Chain A
Amino acid sequence: MKNKIEISGLEVHYEGKPALNRVSFDVHENEILGIIGPAQSGKTTLLKVINRTLEFVPEASMEGTVKLDGVDISTIGDVYGLRRRIGMVLPLPVGLPLSIYDNVAFAPRAAGLRAKSQLDELVERCLQQAALWDEVKDRLNTLGTKLSGGQQQRLTIARALSHAPEVLCLDEFSIAIDPVTTMRIEEVLKTLKKEMTILLVTNLVQQAKRLADRTAFFLNGDLVEIDTTDVIFSDTPTQQATYDYVNGTFG
């Protein structure tokens, strides 16, 4: 099993306040890694480290290394190229104030793609993967911000897929989506992992159980346990805290 991401000794502080404490683990290629844990456990910070958007947070400081395909990401000169290799879906859906079409075509265009036919094809494929195409195919020129919350969330998923990422980070993607649509997207994710590695941050532990090959449990900035999902959700994970969280005894 090849490692897609290797994280070692990762420490993040916000103005001296620790957010991640010496975290080390690997993400395998083409797996879905579920990341669970209560609020303030450092899950979102972890994603910001991976696509180097932590650099936009002035009060953050970071130690340790993160390697993507064996290359330390802090040494990558083309940070914009790096960010395009990583798809990011944030919990609060942000439709950019552009048309639905332009929302999805934003990243490819920023990367330099201009050909209309290729863009058309790409936009359709991404919207279909995000289970949004049927609802918007007749109004691609209306504003992305005019869509409902759940539709905007799927729009952000389509947007994250638009630059053909190698790693897809989903941070609470289903928070604004109804259960039926969530299931449709979960099916898509199972197919997508053949092409990419997926990091699934979720508060719904059952979602991790359904989708993840392996699951990592974070608590207060510490990686408590990482193992196959079967073990984490069994009656005998290594750590008592894991068992308590997964079974809803706390958190």
Chain B
Amino acid sequence: MFTETPIDRRKRLTENVMRIFLLIITSIMIIPLLLIIGYLLYKALPVLSFEFLFSNPRDNMRAGGIWAPFLGTIYLVVVSLLVSAPIGVFAAVYLNEYARENWFTRITNLAVVNLAGVPSIVHALFGVGAFVLFAGLGESILAASLTLAIMTLPVIIASTTEALKAVPMSFREACWNLGATRWQTIRRIVIPNSISGILTGVILQVSRAAGETAPIMFTGAVFYKAIAEGNLFAYNITEQCMALSLHLFTISTQVPDVTEGTPHGTAVVLVGSVLLVNAAAIILRVYLRTRKKW
């Protein structure tokens, strides 16, 4: 018959202690997040409305909605990803599938890793020099988006490389033995089996691009600009725009007597949009994973 020895007893106790300890640590991480979102929602509730989202700020930004900064952020994120996603993915495909180990690939990989760690304010200064002044784009949505693209590019290259590396080498070898070119192998086997990872990596950069203030405040974002309400094409990409992150900073610190709840509402929209996009990424990932073929 089984009887518990002192060693068994100690193992069981240790097991329980560790389980509870890890649960507490995890909770410490999650609780602040829930508190922040809960607090924001509570404070924002009086102002949150359809009208808040679709009307411009009024009375020197003391009241009104967030249409102009909201649309501006969408423009910045979309344009920057239109630039950085294709370049990043193609560069990663080249580095991982074609390039041999030599000084060029080593330097490129080194640059990718280091660029990913550069503070965003440095990217901002680069953007001012390269896009606003040198390329003559002026302070515009285009210049700001390109700056954001430069910032997100290394991370997209890194995440795409990871996704490509996850496809077993033996699949490639089997294709090569069948006389397939590298591109045929990539198109038929490698990309279809890494697309979920690639897309997830790209979409996660939406939150970074949407949340950053430094790279855009010198390159294309303005404190105030009124645009046609409810018109999705109200901005011209050669002109400046408002942005949620900068708007939040402005109304929280620079503008006196802002209507109670407006900053919280702005934060809720910013965080909510990012969470929405991330949720879409998760759903897409789950969907593509069920189609995964090995």
Contact = CB atoms under 8 A, between A and B. Distances in A.
B19 interface: no
Contact of B293 (A82, A88, A97): A97
B59 interface: no
Contact of B179 (A56, A58, A80, A98): A80
Interface in B158-180: 168, 170-171, 173-180
Interface in A92-122: 92, 94-98, 106-107, 110-111
Given A94-B171, A143-B293, A110 B176 contact: no
Nearest to B168: A94
SS class, residues of chain B in contact with chain A: helix
B60 interface: no
Interface in B166-209: 168, 170-171, 173-181, 184, 188-189, 192-193
A106 B293 contact: no
Contacts of A174: none
A58 B101 CA distance: 8
A163 B179 contact: yes
A51 interface: yes
B294 A90 contact: no
Contacts of B193: 97
Contact of A83 (B171, B179, B188): B179
Given A97-B193, A143-B293, A145-B294, A80 B173 contact: no
Interface string A128-168: 00000000000000010100000000001001101100000
B171 A51 contact: no
B106 interface: no
A97 B171 contact: yes
Interface of A: 51, 53, 56, 58, 80-84, 88, 90, 92, 94-98, 106-107, 110-111, 143, 145, 156, 159-160, 162-163
Interface of B: 100-101, 168, 170-171, 173-181, 184, 188-189, 192-193, 292-294
Pick the 5 closest A-B CB pairs, nearest first: A97-B293, A84-B179, A83-B179, A107-B178, A88-B177
